[in-house]
Amino acid sequence: MMNIDFSKGDGLVPVVIQDAQTLEVLMLGYMNEEAWKKTEAEKKVTFFSRSKNRLWTKGEESGNFLHVVSSHLDCDQDTILLLVNPAGPTCHTGSRSCFKTDFNQNFLFQLERIIQHRIDFPSDDSYVNRLRGRGINKIAQKVGEEAVETVIAALRETDMDFINESSDLLFHLLVLLKEKGMGLETIAKNLESRHQ
């Protein structure tokens, strides 16, 4: 149970919305106590709209709901961080985020989600599923092939060739991680523990 201090901001607290998988910041909104209770009960983000002067559930018109995964309170107990699974674009403009960044800085996590979706819902036209159909040995072999091609591109080819081969390597490594029941989070936690 979070003890949120709604008194500091005339009954409103800022709420930072972050994608639970990619960790991209999607938007900022405000909640009063009633909006917070509704969000907790329904597990869908509801704000207090300052312009409409009413509760507003994100996605109530578009269907692009923000499904709450976890909630966190800052050290002063007056700002909320919500990790969510967005059911579509977050911004009313159709963008994934309300913040205009040059690119999705955490696209690898989004790619991991796409690969998992292809695994969970296989289709004949999916390269991921055709590769998985050939078995883990073939997936591991592809990672090895792409690693060699990346080294060759780094030493003898153009920067664009190196970028393309590095991209192929990362993609196939993500497929292999998923095949082993792991993901980028596993690797990130391991790297973090080795850094300490």
- CA-CA distance, 145 to 54, in Å (whole number)? 57
The pLDDT value recorded for residue 27 is 95
Q: How many CB atoms lie within 10 A of CB 60?
A: 12
Q: At what angle do helices 159-179 and 136-156 cross, to 10 degrees?
A: 160
The pLDDT value recorded for residue 106 is 75
Mark the ranges of the chain whose per-residue pLDDT is less than 70: 1, 102-105
Q: Which two tokens stand for residue 94?
A: 């159709």
Q: Which two tokens stand for residue 191?
A: 């790297």
The pLDDT value recorded for residue 2 is 81
The pLDDT value recorded for residue 8 is 85
The pLDDT value recorded for residue 144 is 97
pTM of the full structure:
0.66
Q: Which two tokens stand for residue 106?
A: 């955490």
Q: Residue 86: which H helix or E strand, with range?
A: strand 80-86
